[in-house]
Amino acid sequence: MVHPLILLATPARPTDDSANADQLRRISEELPAHRWVSTAPDALAVIRAEAGLSAVLLDWGLVDAERVLAGIRRRATGLPVFLVLDGAGLDEVPLWAAEVVVGYVWLHEDTPTFLAGRMARAAREYQEGLLPPFFRELTKWDDSHEYSWHTPAHAGGVAFLRSPVGRAFFDYYGEQLFRSDLSCSVELGSAWEHSGPIGDSERNAARIFGAERTYYVLHGTSNANRLVGHHCAVQDEPVILDRNCHKSVHHAMILAGARPVYVTGARNGYGLMGPVPPGSLAQPPLTQPPLTQLPLTASQLAPDGASPVYAALTSSTYDGLLYDAVRVTELLGAHVPRLHFDEAWSAYTKFHPLYERRCAMDVPLTPGSPSLFATQSTHKLLAALSQSSMVHVRSSERAPVDHDRFNQTFMMHGTTSPLYPMLASLDVAAGMMDGAAGRFLIEETLTEAVRFRQAVPQLARRIRESGDRPGWFFGVWQPPEVAEASLDELVNSPARWCLDPGDSWHGYPELEPGYCLLDPAKVTITCPGVQADGTVEPWGIPGKVLNAYLYRRRVVADKYDPYSVLVFFSMGITKGKWGTLLDALTDFKALYDANAPLSAVLPELVSAHPSRYARLTLPALCAEMHAPTAELTSLLRAASAALPTPVLPPVKAYEAMVRGRTERVPLAQLPGRTAAVMVATTPPGSPLLVPGEQLGSADSPLLAYLTALESFDHRFPGFASETHGVEHDPAGGYGIQCVIP
């Protein structure tokens, strides 16, 4: 345990020659660790910044003492506050403030030792009470220095000390990691039986996230999605999938042998995937078209009239589009008894009113509702170790989720050797979000994101108005009013971020008011070149070029698209971090406007491919790449809109692949063939082609897109696309594994 930090906020200064200052100096000498401030703004700064703060001694005589109390209430529920009332009466303290306060102090009525002891004890109790159930027990356990005879065989790290290589590893991480890597311990409970502190922790997380049951998953949301899908559908049952579901959702359908039908959204002019429109959810295709390519046995066919058993949808999308979960449940609930929201990117939506109705666990259930599943990569945007994820479940009368049966699937997909530090990180991630602290942390993130979202268009306006340089700059994909609206309103009003059907900035058709919200925390920086409606401008800066430059500047974006790059704001993104990004954008502009040689902008690229790039300038490269990039974007939009025809259930194509009944087919010979593997553009990894689908004719949008992508790779070495499922021959030509007919 760290020493509890205690804040003294008093108008007296540490150096004052007064009786109060003298008494406070004596108190502070008896405290383990303290900060002494003499103004309300300083007190508020400490309250915001010092997460280790464990008690406060606040003088009611401090100017704005009430504001300090309000700040404490927002930041840290339960933080013990002692109010110094010398000279003031209790009746001067408002009632709400009295509720925040745990004790009153008259400085000269008690001894400094007594007062300091009282505060230190309250601080310790507060610290102990803070810890969530599993982490609290883990810290006690691993302090107890037992001898273990079980796995892991490194035995608290001791095995590493027997070898110089191991020693280096041990020293790198330190003893604590190894001491807490226990893998099995009766006292800490069972991850399979959900018992003991592990079970307590899952129940605590369920309370915090609004679930009926929460399951900790240690292999990412990839695993969580597979286990939910595998539990919800069996062989030949129809299921409804958002086409852009993460590949793990599609994999689940291969495991289950289910028969997916797809609903899909449009890509806008930037190539960003939009929400599935409400009309498609209201009337999805309910069974697959007949699968004709191979003779199918009766058991491979969905029973006549069988209706879909499960649907899955991604919310938020990679680009931060969040559905109205209540509306989606109403629409899809008319067709399926089990509904799965893949919330890999949005584990925090429960904790701020800006996201009301935007997460599955917020949906009010009626007896006719589908059962709801939410899978979340806690590690992606909350604070947990990589791969640490959660499944949240709420069961409805219509399709009850029986825990014991669900747990069978859970165990089928999980390891028998859980890493306790990962479990602890899930426990802590949930604990961090509990109560007022969760909202505070998310609000802080939103505030920084909104500041950045305003800084970019404001800088763009200054550039336009300066008149001494070319007037272009980068933009942010958002409602144009964001640039000028008040910060407070932007952070608190969902209406500001909804994709209004009448607005042109987003580029998506067929929406309803309030149906889809752009998460302010996910920021898409747009480049000149195209507009949201697909208009292509005379010149442009491809996202690949900007991304390569940012990477060189050590600003690593989460992904790039044809004319944009995406960055996330999460806890701990500071002004320094986004200021550096803004600076890099400004520098890119300066280099572009100065016609800088490519060797100065992307030296590694030029030295890897000198004959291709050495003579080019930055604008020349952008100019050469603009037309093919715009062309690719429009082909990708067309390919996403016209889904290929399924001719085999995905599992049958997969089985053909496992048995080697597949061959690599080059692009030119693909027309009419059936894919055995998934082909997905990355990022974000949504499939262009699912196993069992036919590639169509030579002029199909998909083949046209793949052919254009192949020639782009040839033409721009160093900027090759990453398309999973595509194999490259030695000359760089594309091929896809197809079923041998």
- Interface ranges with ligand PLP (CB under 6 A): 220-222, 225, 246, 248, 314, 342, 344-345, 377, 389
Q: Are 412 and 215 in contact (CB under 8 A)?
A: no
Q: How far is the CB of 320 from ligand PLP (least distance, A)?
A: 12
Contacts of 40 (CB under 8 A, 6+ apart): 9, 62, 63, 64, 65, 67, 68
Which residue number, 287 or 570, has a Cβ lying nearer to ligand PLP? 570
Q: How far is the CB of 133 from ligand PLP (least distance, A)?
A: 23
From residue 83, give the alpha-carbon distance in Å to each of 100, 306, 487: 10, 67, 33
Which residue number, 126 or 323, has a Cβ lying nearer to ligand PLP? 323
Q: How far is the CB of 434 from ligand PLP (least distance, A)?
A: 22
Give the whole-angstrom CA distance, residue 283 versus residue 505: 27
Give the whole-angstrom CA distance, residue 431 versus residue 637: 42
Give the whole-angstrom CA distance, residue 412 versus residue 335: 28
What value does the CA radius of gyration of the chain take, rounded to a whole number of Å? 29
Contacts of 285 (CB under 8 A, 6+ apart): 261, 262, 263
Residues in the chain: 741
Which residue number, 175 or 558, has a Cβ lying nearer to ligand PLP? 558
Decide: helix, strand or coil at residue 305.
coil
Exposed e or buried b per residue across 209-238, where buried means at least 16 C-beta atoms within 10 angstroms of its C-beta: bbbbbbbbbbbbbbbbbbbbbbbbbeebbb
Which residue number, 221 or 526, has a Cβ lying nearer to ligand PLP? 221
Specify the long-range contacts of residues 385-388, CB closer than 8 Å, at least 24 apart.
385/421, 385/422, 385/425, 386/220, 387/218, 387/219, 387/220, 387/422, 388/216, 388/217, 388/218, 388/422, 388/423, 388/425, 388/426, 388/429
Q: How far is the CB of 372 from ligand PLP (least distance, A)?
A: 17
Give the whole-angstrom CA distance, residue 210 versus residue 482: 31
Which residue number, 227 or 656, has a Cβ lying nearer to ligand PLP? 227
Which residue number, 214 or 662, has a Cβ lying nearer to ligand PLP? 214
β pairing state of 259-263 and 238-242: parallel
Exposed e or buried b per residue across 383-412, where buried means at least 16 C-beta atoms within 10 angstroms of its C-beta: bbbebbbbbbbbbbebbebeeeebbebbee
Which residue number, 488 or 722, has a Cβ lying nearer to ligand PLP? 722
Q: How far is the CB of 116 from ligand PLP (least distance, A)?
A: 47
Q: How far is the CB of 83 from ligand PLP (least distance, A)?
A: 46
Q: How far is the CB of 376 from ligand PLP (least distance, A)?
A: 9
Q: How far is the CB of 63 from ligand PLP (least distance, A)?
A: 49
Give the whole-angstrom CA distance, residue 308 versus residue 242: 13
Q: How far is the CB of 571 from ligand PLP (least distance, A)?
A: 18
Q: How far is the CB of 181 from ligand PLP (least distance, A)?
A: 21
Q: How far is the CB of 35 from ligand PLP (least distance, A)?
A: 38
Q: Are 530 and 573 in contact (CB under 8 A)?
A: no
Decide: helix, strand or coil at residue 530.
strand
Give the whole-angstrom CA distance, residue 731 versus residue 717: 12
Q: How far is the CB of 223 from ligand PLP (least distance, A)?
A: 7
* C-alpha triplet 643, 648, 652: angle, nearest 5°: 130
Q: Which backbone phi and psi does 519 adopt, to 5 degrees? A: -70, 115
Residue nearest to ligand PLP (CB): 220
Contacts of 130 (CB under 8 A, 6+ apart): 78, 431
Which residue number, 381 or 647, has a Cβ lying nearer to ligand PLP? 381
What is the CB neighbour count within 10 angstroms for residue 721? Answer: 16
Token output for 434: 């509990």
Q: At what angle are helices 247-256 and 650-658 packed, to 10 degrees?
A: 80
Which residue number, 120 or 518, has a Cβ lying nearer to ligand PLP? 518
Q: Are 257 and 229 in contact (CB under 8 A)?
A: no
Give the whole-angstrom CA distance, residue 456 versus residue 34: 40
